[in-house]
Amino acid sequence: MGRITLEGVAKRFGEAEVIPPLDLDIPDGSFCVFVGPSGCGKSTLLRLIAGLEDTSAGRILIDGQDATRVPPAKRGLAMVFQSYALYPHMSVRANIAFPLRMAGMAREERDRRVEEAARVLNLTPYLDRRPGQLSGGQRQRVAIGRAIVREPKAFLFDEPLSNLDAALRVGMRIEITELHERLRTTMIYVTHDQVEAMTMADRIVVLNAGKIEQVGSPLELYREPRNRFVAGFIGSPRMNFIEGAEAARHGAHAIGIRPEHVTPHPSSGDWKGVVGVAEHLGSDTFLHVHDTGLAETITVRAEGEIGLNPGDTVYLTPQPDRIHRFAANGDRL
Amino acid sequence: MARAVPPARKALTTALAWAVGLLLFFPILWTVLTSFKPEPVAVASPPVFLDFDWTLRNYQDVQRQRDYFDYFQNSVILSLGSTILALLIAIPAAWSMAFVPGRRTKDLLMWMLSTKMMPAVGVLVPIYLILKWLDDMITRRTGIDVGLDSHVALLVILTLINLPIVIWMLYTYFREIPGEILEAARMDGATLRDEILWILTPMALPGIASTFLLNVILAWNEAFWTINLTVTDAAPLSKFITGFSSPQGLFYAKLSAASTLAIAPILVLGWFSQRQLVRGLTFGAVK
Amino acid sequence: MATQASRAAARAMLSPAVVLLLIWMIVPLAMTLWFSFQRYNLLYPDRAGFIGFGNYINFVATSGFWEAIVNTLLLVGGVLAITVIGGILIALLIDQPIWGQGPVRILVISPFFIMPPVAALIWKNMFMNPSNGLFAEAARFLGLPPFDFLGQAPLASIVLIVAWQWLPFATLILLTALQSLDSERMEAAEMDGAGPFARFWFIALPHLARAITVVILIQTIFLLGIFGEILVTTNGGPGNASTTLTYLVYKEALLDFDAGTAAAGGVVAVILANIVALFLMRAIGRNLDA
Name every residue whose Cβ is closer than 8 Å to that of residue C201 and which is 6 or more positions away in sequence: none
Which chains have at least 3 CB atom pairs separated by less than 8 Å from chain A? B, C
Question: Residue B188 and residue A98: Cβ atoms within 8 Å?
Answer: yes
- Write the CATH number for A276: 2.40.50.140
Q: Using one digit for the tens of pLDDT, what is the confidence trace for A1-58?
A: 789 999 999 998 888 888 999 999 999 999 999 999 988 889 999 999 998 888 989 9
Question: Cβ C3–A13 below 8 Å, yes or no?
Answer: no
pLDDT single digits (tens) B233-270: 888 888 888 877 665 546 788 888 888 888 888 888 88
* Same-domain status, A251 and A115: no
Same domain, A172 and A260: no
Residue A73 belongs to some domain of the structure: yes
Residue B186 · residue A85 · CB < 8 Å? no
What residues of chain A lie within 8 A of the CB of C8, using their CB? none
Min Cα separation A88/chain B (Å): 7
Say what the pLDDT of residue A62 is: 92
Q: Given A211, A232, A253, which residue is the final one in a domain? A: A232
C114 contacts on B by Cβ (under 8 Å): 28, 221, 263, 267
Question: C111: closest CA among C168, C49, C187, C47?
Answer: C168
Contact B191 A146 (CB under 8 A): no
Q: Using CA atoms, how far apart are residues C223 and A204, in angstroms rounded to an integer? A: 65
The beta-carbon neighbor of A102 closest among B180, B181, B189 is B189
Q: Do residue C4 and residue A51 have CB atoms under 8 angstroms apart?
A: no
User: Are A13 and C2 a contacting pair at CB < 8 A?
Assistant: no
DSSP letter (8 states) at residue B200: I
The answer to whether the Cβ–Cβ distance between A102 and B202 falls below 8 Å is no
pLDDT-wise least confident of A180-189, A215-224, B181-190: B181-190
| Residue A41, min C-alpha distance to chain C (Å) | 14
Q: Which of A173, A202, A232 is the last residue of a domain?
A: A232
Between chain A and chain C, how many beta carbons pairs sit less than 8 Å apart?
A: 12
A172/A242 same-domain check:
no
Q: What is the mean pLDDT of chain C?
A: 83
Query: Which residue in chain B is spatially nearest to A51 when comparing CA positions?
Result: B187
Q: What is the distance in angstroms between the Cα of B194 and the nearest Cα belonging to chain A?
A: 8
Domain boundaries, chain C: 65-242
pLDDT tens per residue across span B200-237: 989 988 888 888 888 888 888 888 888 888 887 888 88
Report the C-alpha gap between A71 and C273 in whole angstroms: 47
Statement: residue C246 has pLDDT above 90: no
Q: Give pLDDT tens digits for B48-95.
A: 777 777 888 888 887 777 777 888 888 999 999 999 999 999 999 998
Q: Is A71 on the interface with C (CB under 8 A)?
A: yes
A332 is a domain residue: no
- State the nearest Cα–Cα gap between A327 and chain B, in angstroms: 43
A86 and A162 in a single domain? The answer is: yes
Could you tell me the CA-to-CA distances from A268 to A16, A265, A298, A319 in Å, in that order? Answer: 53, 6, 17, 15
Q: Give the tens place of pLDDT for each residue, C190-240.
A: 787 777 888 888 888 888 887 888 788 778 878 888 888 888 888 777 877
* Count: domains in chain A: 2
Amino acid identity, position A173? R
Q: In this predicted structure, which of B165-169, C45-49, C71-75, C141-145 has the lowest mean pLDDT?
A: C45-49
Q: pLDDT for A74-126, tens place per residue?
A: 888 999 998 888 998 899 999 999 999 888 889 999 999 999 999 988 899 99
Domain boundary among A208, A232, A256: A232
pLDDT above 90 covers a percentage of chain B that reads 14
Determine contact: B180 vs chain A, CB below 8 A: yes
Q: Shortest Cα distance from A103 to chain B (angstroms)?
A: 7
Cβ-defined contact of C3 to A54 (cutoff 8 Å): yes
In terms of domains, do A228 and A241 share one?
A: no
Residues A249 and A201 in one domain: no
- A135 assigned to some structural domain: yes
pLDDT-based confidence at residue B284 (cuts at 50, 70, 90): low
For residue B180, which residues of chain A lie inside 8 Å, CB to CB?
81-83, 85
CATH number of residue A14's parent domain = 3.40.50.300
b (16+ CB within 10 A) / e for A115-134: eebbebbebeebbeebbeeb
The partner residue sitting opposite A99, judged by closest CB among B180, B181, B188, is: B188
Distances in whole angstroms, Cα of residue A311 to Cα of each of A113, A130, A264, A289: 63, 57, 14, 9
Can you tell me the distance from the alpha carbon of A313 to that of B170, in angstroms, rounded to the nearest whole number? 68
What was the pLDDT predicted at B1?
42
The three-state secondary structure class of A288 is: strand
Which pLDDT tens digit goes with each residue over C14-62? 889 999 999 988 888 888 888 888 887 777 777 677 877 877 887 888 7
Whether residue B21 and residue C107 make contact (CB cut-off 8 A), yes or no, is yes
Range of the domain at A303: 237-326
Q: Which CATH number fits domain C65-242: 3.30.230.10, 1.10.3720.10, 3.40.50.880, 3.20.20.70?
A: 1.10.3720.10
Same domain, A256 and A210: no
**Domains in chain B, CATH or no CATH each:** 68-281 (1.10.3720.10)
User: How sure is the predictor about B283, in pLDDT bands with cuts at 50, 70 and 90?
Assistant: low
**Pair A21, A103 in one domain:** yes
Asked if B196 is an interface residue toward chain A (Cβ–Cβ < 8 A), one would say: no
Could you report the per-residue pLDDT of A230-276, keeping only the tens digit for each? 999 998 889 999 988 888 888 889 999 999 999 998 888 889 899 98
Q: What confidence score (pLDDT) does residue C151 get? A: 79
Taking CB atoms and an 8 Å cutoff, what residues of chain B touch A103? 189
In chain C, which residues touch A (CB < 8 A)? Answer: 1-5
Position C1 pLDDT exceeds 60: no
